[in-house]
């Protein structure tokens, strides 16, 4: 595939579609290929027939075939600032955080505080960093997402076919996600399932929050107690059966045990006290993924808790003994 130019596309280009992009819609392909070009302009050149596939006009919903020759007309767009590059430290951290990799998929232990993708004031996310670190990879896309402050296992597809396979596996609940969360108070052994519908809401300030509401989307999380710290906190395992935004965080809040360090759904006083013990972030970690592989078989990938969280639990243990 030809090199992308993020600032200007001022001459005719011909792109031969590789086999791993087969099945992608032409409009979605162009949005990736023509970085910085407004969607309205992309649809205009399609509507006017300025873009050709194998010398023929196509509609936006046309699905590409391997070997298709796409003629992209000259397009002028406003100059954009060059994409920020990940620092050497971030690159080293991300390379060291790779938990599993094959020809189809990459699983990374995402650090807390790093957004999975840019946008909304974030110039550089996990996926943008990996695209710059792996320029030889023609295709890198997130399979799913994690909140910015959540750490742990996240999947990146290295082929369009792998992305489609993983999305179908998620829809059919063939992928198991296991999280560790330190929650406020003593979680009951009997509380093994939270089945409560969730709905996104927008506050007057513009902030988006998720709440349990009867008219929300069906949401189910399974829980298991892993470790107790008397009445102060409980380390629980959470398995989201559905995949709603902020699901584990809101279900914990609904159960009366918000996650320690959760500035949106947690208790301010508890968070301040826990910060003194070393919990200076959201204590939610994607600890394990059990995934089927496109080439056959399954793999279990585990991400260890970071030292800061382990030290914080040791500090809680010491508090109990004193």
Active site members: 147
Q: How many residues does the chain have?
A: 322
Q: SS3 for 131?
A: helix
At which residue do the structure tokens 């996926």 appear? 127
Gap between the Cα atoms of 223 and 179, Å rounded = 10
* Phi, psi (degrees; rounded to nearest 5) at 314: -60, -40
Gap between the Cα atoms of 20 and 304, Å rounded = 33
Gap between the Cα atoms of 278 and 314, Å rounded = 10
Q: SS3 for 123?
A: coil
Gap between the Cα atoms of 163 and 156, Å rounded = 8
Give residue 195's Cα distance to chain centre. 23
The two three-digit tokens of residue 95, written as one number? 């390379």
Q: SS3 for 117?
A: coil
Q: Among 267, 261, 266, which Cα is nearest to 285's?
A: 261
The HSE-up count of residue 295 (CA atoms within 13 Å, CB side) is 7
Rg (CA), the chain: 23
Angle formed at CA 286 by CA 129 and CA 101, multiple of 5 degrees: 50
């Amino acid at each position: 595939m030809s090199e992308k130019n993020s600032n200007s596309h001022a001459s005719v280009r011909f792109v031969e579609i590789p086999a791993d992009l087969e099945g992608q819609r032409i409009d979605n392909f162009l949005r990736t290929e023509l970085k910085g070009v407004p969607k309205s302009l992309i649809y205009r050149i399609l509507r006017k027939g300025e873009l050709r596939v194998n010398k023929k006009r196509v509609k936006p919903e046309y699905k590409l075939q391997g070997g298709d020759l796409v003629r992209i007309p000259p397009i002028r767009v406003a100059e954009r600032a060059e994409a920020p590059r990940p620092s050497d430290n971030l690159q080293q951290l991300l390379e060291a955080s790779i938990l599993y990799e094959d020809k189809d998929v990459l699983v990374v232990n995402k650090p807390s505080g790093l957004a999975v993708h840019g946008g909304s004031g974030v110039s550089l996310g996990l996926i943008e960093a990996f695209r710059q670190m792996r320029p030889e990879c023609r295709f890198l896309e997130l399979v799913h997402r994690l909140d910015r402050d959540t750490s742990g296992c996240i999947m990146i597809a290295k082929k369009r076919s792998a992305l489609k396979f993983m999305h179908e596996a998620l829809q059919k609940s063939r992928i198991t996600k296991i999280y560790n969360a330190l929650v406020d108070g003593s979680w009951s052994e009997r509380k093994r399932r939270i089945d409560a519908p969730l709905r996104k809401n927008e506050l007057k300030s513009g902030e988006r929050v998720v709440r349990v509401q009867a008219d929300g989307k069906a949401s189910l999380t399974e829980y298991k107690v892993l470790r107790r710290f008397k009445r102060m906190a409980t380390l629980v395992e959470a398995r989201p059966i559905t995949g709603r935004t902020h699901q584990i965080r809101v279900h914990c809040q609904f159960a009366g045990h918000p996650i320690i360090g959760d500035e949106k759904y947690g208790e301010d006083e508890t968070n301040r006290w826990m910060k003194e013990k070393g919990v200076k972030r959201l204590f939610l970690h994607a600890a394990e993924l059990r995934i089927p592989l496109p080439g056959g078989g399954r793999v279990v990938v585990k991400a260890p808790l970071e030292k800061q969280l382990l030290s914080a639990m040791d500090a809680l243990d010491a508090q109990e003994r004193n």
